Amino acid sequence: MTEGESRVGGKFTRDERWLVVRIEEEDLREGDRLDEVLRRVLHLSGRQIQRLVQSGGLRRGKARISSALRIRPGEEIAVRLFPFEEYGVDPEDIPLRILYEDDHYLVVDKPPGILVHPIRPGMRGTLAAAVAHHFATIGLRSRVRPVHRLDRDTSGVIVFAKHAWAHARLDALFRASAVRKTYLAVVSGVPDPAEQTIELPLSRRPGRDGKIAVDARGLFARTVVRVREALGERASLVEAVPETGRTHQIRVHLSALGHPIWGDRLYGGPRVGISRQALHAESLEFLHPFTGEPKAFRAPVPEDIRRLTELLRSETM
Protein backbone atom coordinates (compact mmCIF):
# COMPACT_ATOMS: atom_id res chain seq x y z
CA MET A 1 0.00 0.00 0.00
CA THR A 2 1.24 3.49 -0.80
CA GLU A 3 1.77 6.35 1.64
CA GLY A 4 -1.56 7.93 2.57
CA GLU A 5 -3.45 4.72 1.85
CA SER A 6 -5.07 2.64 4.57
CA ARG A 7 -6.97 -0.61 4.65
CA VAL A 8 -10.68 -0.15 5.29
CA GLY A 9 -11.64 -3.77 5.02
CA GLY A 10 -11.71 -6.45 2.30
CA LYS A 11 -12.33 -4.82 -1.05
CA PHE A 12 -11.96 -1.25 0.25
CA THR A 13 -8.79 0.84 0.61
CA ARG A 14 -8.34 4.49 1.47
CA ASP A 15 -6.03 6.72 -0.58
CA GLU A 16 -5.99 10.28 0.79
CA ARG A 17 -9.48 11.65 -0.03
CA TRP A 18 -10.54 8.65 -2.09
CA LEU A 19 -12.10 5.32 -1.25
CA VAL A 20 -10.83 2.70 -3.69
CA VAL A 21 -13.29 -0.12 -4.37
CA ARG A 22 -12.17 -3.36 -6.00
CA ILE A 23 -15.06 -4.76 -8.04
CA GLU A 24 -15.43 -8.50 -7.52
CA GLU A 25 -17.23 -11.08 -9.64
CA GLU A 26 -20.02 -11.36 -7.07
CA ASP A 27 -20.63 -7.60 -7.25
CA LEU A 28 -21.65 -7.76 -10.90
CA ARG A 29 -24.78 -8.80 -12.70
CA GLU A 30 -25.15 -9.09 -16.43
CA GLY A 31 -25.44 -5.69 -18.12
CA ASP A 32 -24.56 -3.76 -14.94
CA ARG A 33 -23.49 -0.13 -15.17
CA LEU A 34 -21.16 1.40 -12.62
CA ASP A 35 -23.96 3.36 -10.90
CA GLU A 36 -25.89 0.12 -10.32
CA VAL A 37 -22.81 -1.52 -8.80
CA LEU A 38 -22.14 1.47 -6.53
CA ARG A 39 -25.74 1.42 -5.30
CA ARG A 40 -25.32 -2.23 -4.36
CA VAL A 41 -21.76 -2.14 -2.99
CA LEU A 42 -21.63 1.29 -1.31
CA HIS A 43 -25.36 1.87 -0.81
CA LEU A 44 -25.02 5.28 -2.49
CA SER A 45 -28.18 6.94 -3.80
CA GLY A 46 -28.66 7.97 -7.41
CA ARG A 47 -28.39 11.63 -6.38
CA GLN A 48 -25.11 11.02 -4.55
CA ILE A 49 -23.66 9.23 -7.55
CA GLN A 50 -24.78 12.06 -9.85
CA ARG A 51 -23.04 14.62 -7.63
CA LEU A 52 -19.86 12.53 -7.66
CA VAL A 53 -19.90 12.36 -11.46
CA GLN A 54 -20.49 16.12 -11.79
CA SER A 55 -17.60 16.92 -9.44
CA GLY A 56 -15.15 14.44 -10.98
CA GLY A 57 -15.50 12.19 -7.97
CA LEU A 58 -15.46 8.89 -9.86
CA ARG A 59 -12.18 7.70 -11.39
CA ARG A 60 -10.50 4.68 -12.88
CA GLY A 61 -6.81 5.21 -12.45
CA LYS A 62 -6.39 8.96 -12.99
CA ALA A 63 -9.19 9.26 -15.53
CA ARG A 64 -12.62 10.68 -14.71
CA ILE A 65 -15.36 8.23 -15.60
CA SER A 66 -19.11 8.18 -16.13
CA SER A 67 -21.55 6.31 -13.95
CA ALA A 68 -22.78 4.59 -17.13
CA LEU A 69 -19.44 2.80 -17.53
CA ARG A 70 -19.50 -0.98 -17.93
CA ILE A 71 -16.81 -2.53 -15.77
CA ARG A 72 -15.16 -5.91 -15.39
CA PRO A 73 -14.29 -8.00 -12.32
CA GLY A 74 -10.98 -7.03 -10.74
CA GLU A 75 -11.17 -3.37 -11.71
CA GLU A 76 -10.63 -0.71 -9.06
CA ILE A 77 -12.81 2.37 -8.97
CA ALA A 78 -11.87 5.41 -6.86
CA VAL A 79 -14.75 7.31 -5.23
CA ARG A 80 -14.06 10.70 -3.63
CA LEU A 81 -15.83 10.34 -0.30
CA PHE A 82 -13.51 12.59 1.70
CA PRO A 83 -13.45 16.12 0.22
CA PHE A 84 -11.72 18.89 2.20
CA GLU A 85 -14.20 20.54 4.60
CA GLU A 86 -14.24 22.90 7.55
CA TYR A 87 -15.05 21.24 10.88
CA GLY A 88 -18.03 23.51 11.60
CA VAL A 89 -16.83 24.00 15.19
CA ASP A 90 -13.52 25.10 16.70
CA PRO A 91 -11.45 22.08 17.79
CA GLU A 92 -10.87 21.79 21.54
CA ASP A 93 -8.56 19.39 23.35
CA ILE A 94 -11.26 17.67 25.40
CA PRO A 95 -10.81 14.01 26.46
CA LEU A 96 -12.67 11.64 24.14
CA ARG A 97 -13.57 8.03 24.94
CA ILE A 98 -13.47 6.26 21.58
CA LEU A 99 -15.29 2.92 21.36
CA TYR A 100 -14.71 2.30 17.65
CA GLU A 101 -13.33 4.10 14.62
CA ASP A 102 -12.84 3.41 10.92
CA ASP A 103 -12.67 5.58 7.81
CA HIS A 104 -16.44 6.12 7.81
CA TYR A 105 -17.57 6.78 11.35
CA LEU A 106 -16.51 7.31 14.94
CA VAL A 107 -18.30 5.83 17.96
CA VAL A 108 -17.84 7.66 21.25
CA ASP A 109 -18.83 7.12 24.88
CA LYS A 110 -20.38 10.49 25.77
CA PRO A 111 -19.98 11.62 29.39
CA PRO A 112 -22.92 13.31 31.13
CA GLY A 113 -23.04 17.09 31.43
CA ILE A 114 -21.78 17.92 27.94
CA LEU A 115 -23.78 19.05 24.89
CA VAL A 116 -23.29 17.13 21.67
CA HIS A 117 -23.21 20.28 19.51
CA PRO A 118 -23.17 24.04 20.19
CA ILE A 119 -26.62 25.58 20.56
CA ARG A 120 -25.39 29.13 19.98
CA PRO A 121 -22.46 30.70 18.09
CA GLY A 122 -19.17 30.63 19.95
CA MET A 123 -20.25 28.05 22.54
CA ARG A 124 -17.33 25.99 23.79
CA GLY A 125 -16.89 22.70 25.62
CA THR A 126 -19.06 20.50 23.39
CA LEU A 127 -18.56 16.93 22.28
CA ALA A 128 -18.41 18.14 18.67
CA ALA A 129 -15.39 20.31 19.55
CA ALA A 130 -13.66 17.27 21.03
CA VAL A 131 -14.39 15.27 17.86
CA ALA A 132 -13.06 18.13 15.71
CA HIS A 133 -9.81 18.07 17.71
CA HIS A 134 -9.57 14.31 17.19
CA PHE A 135 -10.12 14.74 13.45
CA ALA A 136 -7.35 17.36 13.36
CA THR A 137 -5.03 15.03 15.29
CA ILE A 138 -5.45 12.22 12.74
CA GLY A 139 -5.21 14.59 9.76
CA LEU A 140 -8.88 14.44 8.70
CA ARG A 141 -10.46 17.69 7.48
CA SER A 142 -14.14 16.81 7.51
CA ARG A 143 -17.23 18.45 8.97
CA VAL A 144 -18.24 17.08 12.37
CA ARG A 145 -21.52 15.23 11.76
CA PRO A 146 -23.35 13.69 14.75
CA VAL A 147 -25.73 11.09 13.33
CA HIS A 148 -28.08 11.29 16.32
CA ARG A 149 -28.28 13.20 19.61
CA LEU A 150 -28.19 12.55 23.32
CA ASP A 151 -29.44 15.02 25.93
CA ARG A 152 -26.81 17.01 27.80
CA ASP A 153 -27.16 14.86 30.92
CA THR A 154 -27.56 11.50 29.17
CA SER A 155 -24.39 9.45 28.87
CA GLY A 156 -23.39 6.64 26.52
CA VAL A 157 -22.92 5.55 22.93
CA ILE A 158 -23.14 8.14 20.15
CA VAL A 159 -22.04 8.00 16.49
CA PHE A 160 -20.34 10.65 14.34
CA ALA A 161 -20.02 10.25 10.57
CA LYS A 162 -16.69 11.10 8.95
CA HIS A 163 -18.08 12.13 5.57
CA ALA A 164 -21.36 13.16 3.98
CA TRP A 165 -22.10 9.78 2.40
CA ALA A 166 -21.62 7.94 5.69
CA HIS A 167 -23.89 10.45 7.42
CA ALA A 168 -26.60 10.01 4.80
CA ARG A 169 -26.44 6.23 5.01
CA LEU A 170 -26.39 6.09 8.82
CA ASP A 171 -29.17 8.67 9.06
CA ALA A 172 -31.28 6.49 6.76
CA LEU A 173 -30.71 3.50 9.07
CA PHE A 174 -31.83 5.51 12.11
CA ARG A 175 -34.89 6.86 10.29
CA ALA A 176 -35.85 3.36 9.17
CA SER A 177 -35.56 2.08 12.77
CA ALA A 178 -32.81 -0.26 11.56
CA VAL A 179 -30.61 0.65 14.54
CA ARG A 180 -31.22 -1.08 17.87
CA LYS A 181 -30.67 1.35 20.73
CA THR A 182 -30.63 0.04 24.29
CA TYR A 183 -30.70 2.41 27.27
CA LEU A 184 -30.36 1.77 30.98
CA ALA A 185 -32.31 3.85 33.48
CA VAL A 186 -32.81 3.87 37.21
CA VAL A 187 -36.49 4.59 37.79
CA SER A 188 -38.73 5.23 40.75
CA GLY A 189 -40.60 2.09 41.80
CA VAL A 190 -40.76 -1.25 39.99
CA PRO A 191 -42.78 -1.44 36.74
CA ASP A 192 -45.39 -4.20 36.65
CA PRO A 193 -45.48 -6.19 34.45
CA ALA A 194 -41.71 -6.50 34.26
CA GLU A 195 -41.73 -6.24 30.47
CA GLN A 196 -44.13 -3.98 28.56
CA THR A 197 -44.45 -1.81 25.50
CA ILE A 198 -45.39 1.86 25.89
CA GLU A 199 -47.18 3.47 22.94
CA LEU A 200 -47.98 7.10 23.69
CA PRO A 201 -47.89 9.95 21.13
CA LEU A 202 -45.64 12.88 22.03
CA SER A 203 -45.46 16.57 21.19
CA ARG A 204 -43.59 19.63 22.46
CA ARG A 205 -45.49 21.53 25.13
CA PRO A 206 -46.13 25.23 24.49
CA GLY A 207 -43.76 27.50 26.40
CA ARG A 208 -40.05 27.68 27.04
CA ASP A 209 -39.50 24.92 29.58
CA GLY A 210 -38.42 22.43 26.88
CA LYS A 211 -40.82 19.76 28.07
CA ILE A 212 -42.38 17.13 25.86
CA ALA A 213 -45.88 15.94 26.70
CA VAL A 214 -48.11 12.98 25.93
CA ASP A 215 -50.57 14.35 23.39
CA ALA A 216 -53.14 12.47 21.31
CA ARG A 217 -52.34 14.87 18.43
CA GLY A 218 -48.62 14.22 18.72
CA LEU A 219 -46.21 11.91 16.91
CA PHE A 220 -46.42 8.16 17.38
CA ALA A 221 -43.81 6.85 19.82
CA ARG A 222 -43.07 3.34 21.07
CA THR A 223 -40.68 2.18 23.80
CA VAL A 224 -40.13 -1.38 25.02
CA VAL A 225 -39.28 -1.48 28.73
CA ARG A 226 -37.92 -4.44 30.71
CA VAL A 227 -36.98 -4.55 34.38
CA ARG A 228 -33.37 -5.72 34.67
CA GLU A 229 -33.21 -5.57 38.47
CA ALA A 230 -35.48 -4.45 41.30
CA LEU A 231 -33.51 -2.24 43.69
CA GLY A 232 -35.69 -2.84 46.73
CA GLU A 233 -39.19 -1.39 46.57
CA ARG A 234 -38.16 2.20 45.90
CA ALA A 235 -36.48 1.81 42.54
CA SER A 236 -35.43 -0.48 39.74
CA LEU A 237 -32.87 -0.71 36.97
CA VAL A 238 -34.71 -0.94 33.66
CA GLU A 239 -33.72 -1.52 30.07
CA ALA A 240 -35.47 0.73 27.55
CA VAL A 241 -35.42 0.15 23.80
CA PRO A 242 -36.96 3.05 21.84
CA GLU A 243 -38.43 1.86 18.55
CA THR A 244 -39.01 5.45 17.44
CA GLY A 245 -36.73 8.42 17.97
CA ARG A 246 -38.75 11.24 19.55
CA THR A 247 -37.22 13.95 21.73
CA HIS A 248 -37.12 12.90 25.43
CA GLN A 249 -39.06 9.79 24.45
CA ILE A 250 -37.78 7.42 27.15
CA ARG A 251 -37.95 10.08 29.86
CA VAL A 252 -41.56 11.02 29.07
CA HIS A 253 -42.77 7.46 28.54
CA LEU A 254 -41.34 6.24 31.85
CA SER A 255 -42.77 9.26 33.68
CA ALA A 256 -46.20 8.66 32.10
CA LEU A 257 -45.98 5.05 33.24
CA GLY A 258 -45.61 6.32 36.80
CA HIS A 259 -41.91 5.46 37.03
CA PRO A 260 -39.92 8.63 36.30
CA ILE A 261 -36.18 8.37 35.92
CA TRP A 262 -34.21 9.00 39.08
CA GLY A 263 -32.75 12.52 39.08
CA ASP A 264 -34.91 13.71 36.15
CA ARG A 265 -36.07 17.09 37.43
CA LEU A 266 -37.96 17.92 34.24
CA TYR A 267 -40.24 14.88 34.44
CA GLY A 268 -40.67 14.33 38.17
CA GLY A 269 -37.87 11.95 39.11
CA PRO A 270 -36.53 11.72 42.69
CA ARG A 271 -33.77 14.29 43.26
CA VAL A 272 -31.45 12.49 45.63
CA GLY A 273 -28.35 10.37 45.06
CA ILE A 274 -27.47 11.70 41.62
CA SER A 275 -27.13 15.14 40.05
CA ARG A 276 -28.62 14.29 36.62
CA GLN A 277 -31.17 11.93 35.12
CA ALA A 278 -29.93 8.35 35.57
CA LEU A 279 -30.18 7.52 31.86
CA HIS A 280 -27.39 5.85 29.91
CA ALA A 281 -27.24 4.85 26.22
CA GLU A 282 -25.74 1.43 26.85
CA SER A 283 -25.49 0.01 23.33
CA LEU A 284 -26.07 0.49 19.61
CA GLU A 285 -26.37 -2.23 16.97
CA PHE A 286 -26.60 -1.80 13.20
CA LEU A 287 -25.21 -3.03 9.89
CA HIS A 288 -22.10 -1.21 8.71
CA PRO A 289 -23.32 1.24 6.04
CA PHE A 290 -20.63 0.23 3.52
CA THR A 291 -19.68 -3.38 4.28
CA GLY A 292 -23.00 -4.69 5.63
CA GLU A 293 -21.14 -6.23 8.59
CA PRO A 294 -23.14 -6.43 11.86
CA LYS A 295 -21.68 -3.99 14.40
CA ALA A 296 -22.43 -3.64 18.11
CA PHE A 297 -21.03 -1.05 20.52
CA ARG A 298 -21.38 -0.90 24.29
CA ALA A 299 -20.50 1.83 26.79
CA PRO A 300 -19.86 0.83 30.43
CA VAL A 301 -22.26 2.11 33.08
CA PRO A 302 -20.83 5.40 34.42
CA GLU A 303 -19.73 5.76 38.02
CA ASP A 304 -22.60 8.00 39.19
CA ILE A 305 -25.28 5.53 38.04
CA ARG A 306 -23.35 2.58 39.44
CA ARG A 307 -23.02 4.35 42.79
CA LEU A 308 -26.75 5.19 42.81
CA THR A 309 -27.75 1.57 42.16
CA GLU A 310 -25.45 0.40 44.98
CA LEU A 311 -27.03 2.87 47.40
CA LEU A 312 -30.56 1.84 46.44
CA ARG A 313 -29.69 -1.84 46.50
CA SER A 314 -28.28 -1.54 50.04
CA GLU A 315 -31.19 0.72 51.12
CA THR A 316 -28.74 3.16 52.71
CA MET A 317 -30.15 6.24 50.98
Q: How many helices (H) and strands (E) does the chain have?
A: 6, 18
pLDDT of residue 5 exceeding 50, the answer is no
Q: Which of 14-28, 47-61, 222-236 has the lowest mean pLDDT?
A: 14-28
Backbone angles phi, psi at 200, to 5 degrees: -135, 125
15 vs 158, more confident? 158
C-alpha torsion sign, points 76, 80, 82, 83:
positive
- Element holding 309 (H helix, E strand): helix 303-314
Active site residue 151: yes
107 vs 5, more confident? 107
Cis peptide before 260 (omega within 30 of 0): no
Answer whether CATH 3.10.290 is correct for domain 6-79: yes
Beta bridge partners of residue 5, listed in sequence order: 15
From 102, 103, 151, 264, active-site residue: 151
Domain topology for 179-286+290-315: Pseudouridine synthase (3.30.2350)
Per CATH, 6-79 and 179-286+290-315 having the same topology is answered no
The CATH code belonging to domain 97-176 is 3.30.2350.10
pTM: 0.84
Break the chain into its structural domains and give their ranges: 6-79, 97-176, 179-286+290-315
pLDDT in tens, 142-166: 999 999 999 999 999 999 999 888 8
